[in-house]
Chain A
Amino acid sequence: MANDETSVPPDSGRRNFLNWFLGTTAGAFFVAVTYPLSRYLIPPEVEESTAHTVTISIKPQEVKANSGQIFRFGSQPAILIRTPNDELKAFSAVCTHLACIVQYRSDISQIWCACHNGHFDLNGKNIEGPPPKPLEEYVVNVRSDQIVASKRG
């Protein structure tokens, strides 16, 4: 009798198969629900503007010495600066720290981020505060009364 109780029941193979079957079905169901759900939550890639050159809608004479203005470089904000030495420069306006939009401060002649007090010099180099990298600099060309900014390289 004792032997009978401990021995494997005759239908255990069938039971194991059914359990395995049920388990894989449940697993397949889980994947069938979570896969589309997770794909749904990830936003689709939208074509980013790959423009290398933009014509800025600001006239050269509108930018006074020791001042700066934000302009659009494709879908990203950029900053156009006329330095105290009357030189036109352009940089990405996205702070390399936590992506705030920087501004030009005429009182210290620096590019400055108001969010976490990051400072950049007039070459875009991070000189003070938390930003870890310099701002990307664009090449500026003035063609009659148009300013054209383009990415390097």
Chain B
Amino acid sequence: MCGAIRSSRARGASIVMEIQSAKHGKLWLWFDERIGLSDFAKLAKKKEVPLHRHTFWYYFGGMTLFLFMIQVATGILLLLYYRPSAGEAFESIQFLMTEVQFGWLVRSIHSWSANLMIFAMFIHLFSALLLLAYRRPREMTWLSGGGLLGLSLAFGFTGYLLPWNELAFFATRVGTEIPGVLPVIGPFLRRLLRGGNDVTGATLTRFYGIHVAILPAFATGILGLHLFMVQKHGMSRPPSVEKNSGEKKTMPFFPNFFLRDLVGWLCALGLLAALAAYYPAELGKKADPFQSAPIGIKPEWYFMAMFQTLKLLPSHIFGIEGELLGVVGFGVIGLILIAMPFLDRNASLGKTSSRLAAAFGLLLIVYSVVLTYLGYTMSPTK
């Protein structure tokens, strides 16, 4: 009896194998048996993307990921020529830009892709905020996303110093001075960041280590968590859509949505290639710690709103130093943004109108755009 069942099971299994091998070929079967390819295939089949009038905004998460992959690839290439010391960093990039074949292109792609990635990430952040995607049970997705935003800004800030040029030097002097204005822990934080009391070669080496090892390690972990959470909960359907439509339309992720994603990536790649080819990254003048800050100095565009705020704040407000208030203000805004799923009770209770997120999000967008505009248009000497 047992033998009969066993042999019929074996027959059944061999029939299934034959059907699969007809569909996939022997190589697929060999790997499937060892690493379980069909489990992945099942997972890919199961994943669906909600279809509604805001579906467009779902593309920006994937686009950020795509640009991040470009950053990893070009970053590894840059490592082959870069030398992380005050005496050699600028010269090594000069060599890369002028002597190494396509060196200018690799560096330009790295620099432009960083900007586009931050831009795509901001769109992703604000669309998730305004479509209330952070509500229960996606709090962890939101928090991990906040972590990734912080890491990306840190990537941008530390990477900016590595060419060791004039702009980089002063941006880092100011940027590391900012936590330094905090009472009690400020001077300690500044020393920890700079690897000493001033921005020197020690800071460059430290930023290099942070940029190419510490941040990537954290980014890998948090990105893994973020993607796992997206996989676990699926994409969030905005409450306004959820209320109005009875029928829930979806699209299979694979291949339908994924192919559309690829079209978006191709557009991003096209834009990136054009920017890198027509506006190659500049190198400027080598940093000199005994030179005045150049007229018209400014940070990367995503720090411009903060930079301009610090410029406009008066020296004292109600007896408190202006920059301290500014720095604490930035911190509070960041905290509100990160804590949104816990502050916004309406959205987490499933109500459609969530004035807090909308008001906060729109205010933040308007403020950043206006201050960034002022930063680029106001005369630097007045």
A72 to B289, CA, bound (A): 10
Instruction: Find B170's partner among A43, A71, A100, A130 (CB 8 Å cutoff).
Output: A100
**Contacting pair A93 B292 (CB below 8 A):** yes
- Give 1 or 0 for each of B80-122: 1 = CB within 8 Å of chain A CB: 0000000000000000000000000000000000000000000
- Give 1 or 0 for each of A12-29: 1 = CB within 8 Å of chain B CB: 000000000000000000
Instruction: Find B292's partner among A41, A101, A126, A131 (CB 8 Å cutoff).
Output: A101
Q: Given A41-B192, A43-B195, is A70 in contact with B292 using a C-beta cutoff of 8 Å? A: yes
Instruction: Find B322's partner among A46, A101, A132 (CB 8 Å cutoff).
Output: A132
Q: B294 to chain A: which residues have CB within 8 Å?
A: 114
**Contacting pair B311 A130 (CB below 8 A):** yes
Interface membership of B12, Cβ < 8 A: no
Smallest Cβ distance from A4 to chain B, in angstroms?
43
A132 to B310, CA, bound (A): 12
Smallest Cβ distance from B185 to chain A, in angstroms?
13
**Contacting pair A130 B323 (CB below 8 A):** yes
A71 to B195, CA, bound (A): 24
Q: Which of A122-144 contact B (CB under 8 A)?
A: 126, 129-132
Smallest Cβ distance from A127 to chain B, in angstroms?
10
Smallest Cβ distance from A143 to chain B, in angstroms?
23
**Contacting pair B173 A99 (CB below 8 A):** yes
Interface membership of B261, Cβ < 8 A: no
Q: Given A70-B290, A102-B292, is A114 in contact with B380 using a C-beta cutoff of 8 Å? A: yes
**Contacting pair B291 A97 (CB below 8 A):** no
**Contacting pair B174 A77 (CB below 8 A):** no
A70 to B313, CA, bound (A): 27
**Contacting pair B202 A129 (CB below 8 A):** no
Interface membership of A106, Cβ < 8 A: no
- Give 1 or 0 for each of B303-332: 1 = CB within 8 Å of chain A CB: 000010011111110000111000000000
Interface membership of A7, Cβ < 8 A: no
Interface membership of B255, Cβ < 8 A: no
Q: A117 to chain B: which residues have CB within 8 Å?
A: 311, 380-382
Q: B177 to chain A: which residues have CB within 8 Å?
A: 98-99
Q: B322 to chain A: which residues have CB within 8 Å?
A: 130, 132
Smallest Cβ distance from B115 to chain A, in angstroms?
22
Q: B1 to chain A: which residues have CB within 8 Å?
A: none
19 contacting pairs across A/B (C-beta < 8 A)? A43-B191, A70-B291, A93-B292, A98-B178, A100-B174, A100-B293, A100-B297, A101-B291, A102-B293, A103-B292, A103-B293, A105-B381, A113-B293, A114-B296, A114-B297, A116-B310, A116-B311, A132-B315, A132-B321
5 more A-B contacts (CB under 8 A) besides A98-B173, A115-B174, A132-B322? A43-B194, A101-B292, A113-B293, A115-B170, A115-B297
B residues neighboring A (CB under 8 Å): 170, 173-174, 177-178, 180-181, 191-192, 194-198, 202, 289-297, 307, 310-316, 321-323, 380-382
Q: Identify the 3 closest CB pairs spanning chains A and B, nearest first.
A: A103-B292, A114-B293, A116-B311
